[in-house]
Structure 1
Amino acid sequence: MEYEKQLQRIKSGSGFIAALDQSGGSTPKALENYGVGGDAYDNDEAMFDLVHEMRARIMTCDCFDNERVLGAILFEDTMEREVNGKPTANYLWEDKNIVPFLKVDKGLAEQMDGVQVMRPMPNLNSLLDKAKNYPVFGTKMRSVIYEPSVDGIELVVQQQFDVAKQIISKGLMPIVEPEIDINSSKKHDCEIILKTSILHNLERLNDGHQVMLKLTLPEEEGFYQELIDHPKVLKVVALSGGYSRHDACEKLKQNPGMIASFSRAFTEGLSKQQSDEEFAATINASIDEIYEASKI
């Protein structure tokens, strides 16, 4: 079964997960970083055409290989499009042996109690059913923590785990992402509360069930080791969260057992204006640096 093959690949394969899942709100910034200004498109459809072009250019690059890239997180629009004449997830899994994930959240609610929980996802079941039509292994959803508020952080984590259970019931692997803002003045205090809350919520999962965790790189080296070793955690991956690729990789090296799942740091330096050779050289250097940091 494909799911079992993918599970083993994530569990014991080496490499990192490329986050190619910018959605409506973050796509203009991703395109701008890629050298495509807002004047290059008139509407959302044209914008998504351009960002898919960028993602397809990355995915079809020879250096985007399964020796260093374990998985890729897709946005719903990307999942429903094609790469090299195949649905994106099929291309990744069948042609590249790279495990596809789907971003399922609908963005963030207003900040309250030092956090932003996820907006309601009334159509989640139908989106998960849609994902099952493709070789999608798991999902990803993001909340953000700014302040060391016990109540706020518990709200974030509980919501993440409640939705995770719904995702598990559909036969998919959830990536739970309670991001801590890297600019928080009390970042480590947030990390202490977050780890306690995650450990508590892991106990609420049924025996035999697992989640993946996507966490901000911690202030203290090896701080999340207890989560990495937890039987109900398949893998702990790190987000770059606004750190440069170099800084994110340096921090990652201090946390053995965590692997990267970078977005901005992964595509740093890529440009639409680059020749195919320049583009390939840039992405190869990025993949190499992130892969090496994820190996430790």
Structure 2
Amino acid sequence: MQSNKHLENNKIAFIQREKIKPVKELLRAKKQILNCKLGIRDAIQQLDSLSSVGCIEESVMAPDGSVYHEHIFCAKCMQGEASLDNDIILCDGACNRAFHQKCLEPPLHSENIPPEDQGWFCRICDLKMEILESVNAHLGTCFSLESNWQEIFKAEAALSDGGIEGLHKDDQWPSDDSEDEDYSAGTSYSSHSTSTSTSLSWSLDKEFLLGSPKSDQDVTGYPYSSDELTDADIILGRRQRSAVDYKKLYNEMFGKDGSNAEQFSEDEDWGPY
């Protein structure tokens, strides 16, 4: 009978020690990841929208991407005239745009034009390529510069607002410890520890500045008595207090036998009772 009761108690203890699965926390993390992916998708959409301004129509472009010079114009000033020191440079990205050297910010000097085998990218395409390369490196995706914004995280965008149940970006999930008997809502160890250490630090500093009744002059060296100090004096005093003899202060607080007790604790024959 006692054996069965012992086994039952062990079973209950095992269940209580079983690791709690943070289901709500994991759900909230998935929601945050989804929001980040949708944010990247939105950024690519804005870049695609900006790159559509002043682009050359695809109907006048050859299958290999080439275009006759009469169809080339600057996406900024919308002019097609070019000169030796202000040529029109075609972007090698997916935007189908061209720019005068002097219309770019900063202007592109002729000696800085990359060779044809390297290609030149406008500011928008360069930024889009940088974002997608970073996403591919971190998430293992295969997005390219030719990918339009509809192709970026298409599956995530298809999820409705209720696709991940029970989550909202402003939700604050309680800890699983809220079911504990000694759990107190609205308090935490961190905040309690911080407030306690803060009040303790202020209490010690204030006591140190005021001086203990036994050693107002010997320990602190503070020239005023506690009756003459105000809050303003205490604040200023923290910046002006003189050097402290910590060894003397330690002896007065714990006695001279404190060092002997410490040496005894290091004795090799010492052990717990």
TM-score band w.r.t. shorter chain: under 0.3
TM-score by length of 1: 0.22
- Bigger fraction of residues in helix: 2
TM-score by length of 2: 0.24
- Bigger fraction of residues in strand: 1
